[in-house]
Amino acid sequence: MALEAADEPKVSSGLYDNDDAASININSKKLVNPFVGKTHEEMDDLITRFMEKTRIDGIYDEHIRKGAYLAQDQSAFDDLREDALTLKPEERSALRMEDPKTGNKWNQPWILVRDRRLTQEPGTDAS
């Protein structure tokens, strides 16, 4: 007997109040973005609650905020923002490298290449 849409297993994230993100269908082929459609105030509230709940050190606040706004909208930092958050040139460069249209998937940090060679079985090629 096949699972009906209503019978599919759901996983509760516990961080979000809206119905779209609170229950994530683990069998879905599409990822749910819990930040889509949120206002700036709602995003600030979600980020603040996340920081309080996880007790992440405040020195990471700016990084968490930037990541959340980028997760909501990839163009979040294309224009000047009201909250004065900006991306540093090296952050913009890193994002360009991750973009499949502008980046290079073969450009890996040296430590990853080195570690892969160390764990490789003798007689096999790492490339």
Instruction: Supply the pLDDT for residue 53.
Output: 93
Q: Give the pTM.
A: 0.57
Mean of the pLDDT values across residues 31-54? 90
Instruction: Supply the pLDDT for residue 121.
Output: 61
Instruction: Supply the pLDDT for residue 24.
Output: 55
HSE of 43 in the Cβ direction (CA atoms, 13 Å)?
19
Instruction: Spell out the residues 6+ positions from residue 47 whose beta carbon is closer than 8 angstroms to its own.
Output: 64, 65, 68
- pLDDT tens by residue, 50-73: 999 999 888 888 999 999 999 998
- Judge whether 85 and 69 are in contact, CB under 8 Å: yes
Give the Cα separation of 49 and 39 in Å (integer).
Answer: 15
Give the Cα separation of 51 and 108 in Å (integer).
Answer: 30
**Would you say residue 38 has pLDDT above 80?**
yes
**Would you say residue 5 has pLDDT above 60?**
no
